Chains A and B, each alone.
Chain A
Amino acid sequence: MSKPFEVDRRVTLQWMFGAMAASGVPVSGAYAAQAAPAPWPHDAPPPISPPGYGTDPTLMEPVVPWPKTLTEAQLRTTAALCDTILPAEGKWPAPSAVGTHQFIDEWVSAPYPAQADDRMRLLNGFAWVEAQAQARYRKDFAALPEPARIEILSDAAKAHADGARFLERMKYLTTGAYYTSEQGVEELGYVGNVAIDGDYPGPTQEAFAHLDQALAKLNLLRRKK
């Protein structure tokens, strides 16, 4: 079912690339900065109607029953967008290293209304940034150095209300997926979800010290029993 959309997108890219080449304008970042923003596509993605997990799924060993639908090319774009939004830092890996792009594939391929809205929004966004990457640099978005990726994604958000919404949803999905991953949870410093023997210990001395500083700044008092 994803074939017709793929064809349309390629046709669009070829048309855009062809048109730019024919007009003889330099295809570069400098050019893009002066030009009017390219129109934001509003193509309806090919309909999908996979099964949901139903109202009584197995909770102990969850499975995702619907097939993923992004193409290899779209997955590369997604991964590059994730890594542009939340770049690797020191020991903390890039989002794509923990599979956020695969999660986004699961998300946009799901049969539920909220995810279907994102499917429309994200697929058009992927098409727009790819078209821009081709138009400006004749490269895939994923092959661009970080400054060029930042430039294109920033332009998406600046030039179109739909682009701003696209960036907002990509930020939500990237950070949500990353910070629920094993590495993301560790980065946040979350230390729960382990069984405790005996009474709940409560805050540490360091946590109390921080709280008391915060209270003092707010001119509030902690009554110590």
Chain B
Amino acid sequence: MADWEPDVIVVGSGVGGSMAAYALGRAGVKVAIYEAGRHYDPESETPMMNWDREAPLRAVSTPDKPFGYYDATVDGGWQVPGEPYTVAEGSNFMWWRSRMLGGRTNHWARHVPRFGPLDFKPYSRDGRGVDWPIGYDDLKPWYDRSEMLMGVIGENIKLPNVPWTPEHIRQPAPVPRVPELLLKAACEEKGIPCIAPPRAVITRPLNGRQACFYASPCDRGCSIGANFQAVTVLLPPALKTGNVRVITDAMVAEVLTAKDGRANGIRYVDRKSGTWREARAKAVVLAASSCETARILLNSNGGKGLANSSGQVGRNLTDTVGVGIGAQVPALEGRPRYNEDGIFFSHIYMPWWLDDDHAKLGFPRGYHIEVWGDWTKHPSMDLGNYAGGFPGFGRGLRDHMRRTFGTTVGMAGRGEMIPNDDCYCDIDPVAKDKFGIPVLRFHWKWGEAELAQAEHMRQTMVELLDRIGGKLNDPNDAKGPARISAGGEMIHELGTARMGSSAKDSVVNSYGRAWDVPGLYLMDGSIMPSNPDKNPTLSIMALAWRGSAELVRRSKRGQL
């Protein structure tokens, strides 16, 4: 190890960093990944078939494990011990982090739509936000190969902003279950498309990974590699090249530069010993997550910031607009049981269908609807809430419980947010984490466009639930206004170091290469100039792959 010198340092082992390591390692580039969290082995650490009763408190959410005991998040959640962030007065922002190999690819919904042609040119379309310097056709080949490597099920549909994935790339999707078929019938009557969603779950073996066996909730991770996690899909082949090494428990504080301004290393603290170290290479790739990457850039150069002549680092922070509504559906009571675990996630979703109607709708951008229910997993403590629907107690309660189990249908609207001047992160002037690194301060305010869109989501979901005779879990949902998510709550933070076509108003070019700093590349969600309703992981992967190919090309020319 002592005489092993990496060509490239990659910060972060989530989808962007692991993709970079995979692509660079296979091209013969020596890569050292620095990951802030601990090593994580999904094969030995995933509680695949554990019942909730085997966990403390029946696995319910606690401050230690906000998404439940079995959730595949290590040392994280809305707070990371000893590593705070602050939120400006009047703002509401939540930042989900983990401290583990593979980052947030271990815990996510694995909904992987491609961005559509309209998504790359939002400014040209309605004068809001900014256009990307590239279009769908530039990214399409990288989407194709990313989907092939990731392993994606789904169903194509002819809609202007929902790209068609070549049939040979997609794996067959599982058939819908009864509650989904009920909702699908209501959608069809209302002219709302309802199809199998693109999910990073495989139903056929792929590159040594096993097909899904239709048990065990995906948010626990997957020991057989049947869903996408960086630790099961990208890192094993990356390490197999012999060109990639991983350093865990390495919390990176800043990017170091040579006298001529090139990025040539990092300064980091070893989480276990508290020792500060430096590491050097010919180039640095930041893929620490949108906000952490912005933090590293802002804290570099003695706190004066790096790659920020445009002043855009930390700005343009976006998240997905989220509204969720659940209902109990009497039509589903007393139905015959069969195994409804499926792929755990919903087998249907509704892509945005009103691209041509925005002028009429009164909000400029679209959303899609995801579906959930109490029928995709073994019974949880949530069932206890059903007892509240039974007056009193005693005789009859058992019958009520048997009848209502499997009758919850919920929907989650997920919409595009337009970047605005009120949403950004900067360095808190006072607060520091336990390592002494200055922390981020978040500023957040939804725009009118998002509030109007959220209200439309609410109305659509209430109409659909009403059509199947659902009784809303929260009666307030019937009249609104929609309960919009907090900033960051959808865990789709993007845009804090956006790409563009000039150094004046953007931080990087379309390959993630910093305008100001030779040898510095960004390969996470920070570079995305807009945040369509499409969940970003697949696009981060495709952009990181494309950026890595450019890095290799430039490396060969000696122009990192």
Interface residues of A (CB under 8 A from B): 52-57, 59-60, 62-65, 84-87, 89, 92, 103, 106-107, 110, 112-115, 150, 153-154, 157, 167-168, 171-177, 179-182, 184-185, 187-197, 199-204, 206-211, 214-215, 217-218, 220-223
* A107 neighbours in B (Cβ, 8 Å): 57
Residue of B nearest to A221 (CB): B185
Residue of B nearest to A184 (CB): B379
**Which has the most chain B C-beta neighbours within 10 Å: A54, A59, A154, A175?**
A59
A202 to B438, CA, bound (A): 52
**Which has the most chain A C-beta neighbours within 10 Å: B80, B178, B387, B469?**
B387
**Which has the most chain A C-beta neighbours within 10 Å: B70, B75, B77, B401?**
B401
A194 to B342, CA, bound (A): 11
Q: Mark B369-388, 1 if CB is under 8 A from A, else 0.
A: 00000000111111111111
Interface residues of B in 492-539 (CB under 8 A from A): none
Q: Of B38, B65, B184, B338, which one neighbours A203 at CB under 8 angstroms?
A: B338
**Is A180 in contact with B405, judged by CB distance below 8 angstroms?**
no
* A55 neighbours in B (Cβ, 8 Å): 64-65, 74-77, 80-81
* B379 neighbours in A (Cβ, 8 Å): 179-180, 184-185, 188, 190
**Is A211 in contact with B56, judged by CB distance below 8 angstroms?**
no
**Is B383 in contact with A179, judged by CB distance below 8 angstroms?**
yes
B336 interfacial contact with A, CB 8 Å: yes
Smallest CB separation, A102 vs chain B (Å) = 12
A187 to B383, CA, bound (A): 13
Interface residues of B in 300-320 (CB under 8 A from A): none
> A107-B57, A176-B58 are known contacts. Are A214 and B331 too (CB-CB below 8 A)?
yes
Smallest CB separation, A125 vs chain B (Å) = 13
> A176-B383, A197-B213 are known contacts. Are A89 and B467 too (CB-CB below 8 A)?
no
Smallest CB separation, B137 vs chain A (Å) = 32
Residue of B nearest to A195 (CB): B213
**Is A190 in contact with B213, judged by CB distance below 8 angstroms?**
no
For this complex, into which size category does the number of interface residues on chain B fall?
35 or more
Residue of A nearest to B49 (CB): A193
**Is B397 in contact with A85, judged by CB distance below 8 angstroms?**
yes
A106 to B221, CA, bound (A): 27
Of the listed stretches B169-177, B239-247, B253-261, B414-422, chain A binds B169-177
Q: Of A153, A199, A214, A223, which one neighbours B203 at CB under 8 angstroms?
A: A199
**Is B185 in contact with A59, judged by CB distance below 8 angstroms?**
no
* B467 neighbours in A (Cβ, 8 Å): 218, 220
**Is B176 in contact with A202, judged by CB distance below 8 angstroms?**
yes
B208 interfacial contact with A, CB 8 Å: no
* B184 neighbours in A (Cβ, 8 Å): 222
Q: Main secondary structure on chain B at its contact with chain A?
A: loop
**Is B53 in contact with A180, judged by CB distance below 8 angstroms?**
yes
Given contacts A60-B45, A175-B397, A218-B468, 11 further A-B contacts (CB under 8 A): A52-B63, A55-B76, A62-B50, A171-B388, A185-B379, A188-B337, A190-B405, A197-B213, A199-B174, A210-B335, A214-B331
B394 interfacial contact with A, CB 8 Å: yes
Smallest CB separation, B84 vs chain A (Å) = 14
Smallest CB separation, B154 vs chain A (Å) = 15
Smallest CB separation, B462 vs chain A (Å) = 16
A166 to B57, CA, bound (A): 19
Q: Mark B73-103, 1 if CB is under 8 A from A, else 0.
A: 0111100110000000000000000000000
B27 interfacial contact with A, CB 8 Å: no
Smallest CB separation, A93 vs chain B (Å) = 11
* A114 neighbours in B (Cβ, 8 Å): 62
* B51 neighbours in A (Cβ, 8 Å): 180, 182, 185, 193
A193 to B424, CA, bound (A): 43
Residue of A nearest to B335 (CB): A210
* A209 neighbours in B (Cβ, 8 Å): 336
Top 10 closest pairs, chain A to chain B, by CB: A176-B384, A172-B384, A192-B341, A202-B175, A200-B174, A189-B337, A195-B213, A206-B336, A214-B331, A171-B387
Q: Of A157, A184, A192, A220, which one neighbours B186 at CB under 8 angstroms?
A: A220
* A174 neighbours in B (Cβ, 8 Å): 384, 387
* B176 neighbours in A (Cβ, 8 Å): 202
A69 to B377, CA, bound (A): 32
- Please name 20 pairs of A and B residues whose Cβ atoms are closer than 8 Å in the assembled complex, sorted by A: A52-B63, A53-B56, A54-B64, A55-B65, A60-B44, A60-B45, A62-B47, A84-B393, A86-B393, A106-B57, A177-B384, A188-B405, A190-B337, A193-B216, A193-B341, A194-B339, A196-B215, A200-B203, A200-B343, A223-B185
> A110-B56, A172-B388 are known contacts. Are A211 and B62 too (CB-CB below 8 A)?
no
Q: Of A182, A202, A210, which one neighbours B177 at CB under 8 angstroms?
A: A202
* B342 neighbours in A (Cβ, 8 Å): 200
B189 interfacial contact with A, CB 8 Å: yes
B395 interfacial contact with A, CB 8 Å: yes
B54 interfacial contact with A, CB 8 Å: yes
**Is A196 in contact with B338, judged by CB distance below 8 angstroms?**
no
B167 interfacial contact with A, CB 8 Å: no
B108 interfacial contact with A, CB 8 Å: no
**Is B53 in contact with A211, judged by CB distance below 8 angstroms?**
no
* A195 neighbours in B (Cβ, 8 Å): 49, 213-215
A180 to B220, CA, bound (A): 18
**Is A150 in contact with B394, judged by CB distance below 8 angstroms?**
yes
Residue of A nearest to B404 (CB): A188
A46 to B384, CA, bound (A): 27
**Which has the most chain A C-beta neighbours within 10 Å: B47, B216, B381?**
B381
> A56-B75, A112-B62 are known contacts. Are A175 and B401 too (CB-CB below 8 A)?
yes
> A55-B81, A59-B46 are known contacts. Are A176 and B382 too (CB-CB below 8 A)?
yes
> A200-B214, A203-B338, A218-B331 are known contacts. Are A57 and B402 too (CB-CB below 8 A)?
no
**Is B74 in contact with A56, judged by CB distance below 8 angstroms?**
yes
**Is A89 in contact with B398, judged by CB distance below 8 angstroms?**
yes
**Is B188 in contact with A223, judged by CB distance below 8 angstroms?**
yes
B181 interfacial contact with A, CB 8 Å: yes
Q: Of A113, A202, A207, which one neighbours B174 at CB under 8 angstroms?
A: A202
A223 to B378, CA, bound (A): 29
Interface residues of B in 145-203 (CB under 8 A from A): 172, 174-178, 181-182, 184-186, 188-189, 203
**Is B181 in contact with A59, judged by CB distance below 8 angstroms?**
no
* A211 neighbours in B (Cβ, 8 Å): 178, 181-182, 335
Q: Of A52, A150, A187, which one neighbours B398 at CB under 8 angstroms?
A: A187
> A112-B62, A188-B379, A195-B215 are known contacts. Are A86 and B77 too (CB-CB below 8 A)?
no
* B390 neighbours in A (Cβ, 8 Å): 171
> A168-B388, A187-B402 are known contacts. Are A60 and B215 too (CB-CB below 8 A)?
no
Q: Mark B325-360, 1 if CB is under 8 A from A, else 0.
A: 000000110111111111100000000000000000
**Is A53 in contact with B215, judged by CB distance below 8 angstroms?**
no
Smallest CB separation, B123 vs chain A (Å) = 39
B52 interfacial contact with A, CB 8 Å: yes
* B332 neighbours in A (Cβ, 8 Å): 214
> A57-B65, A60-B47, A207-B338 are known contacts. Are A175 and B386 too (CB-CB below 8 A)?
yes
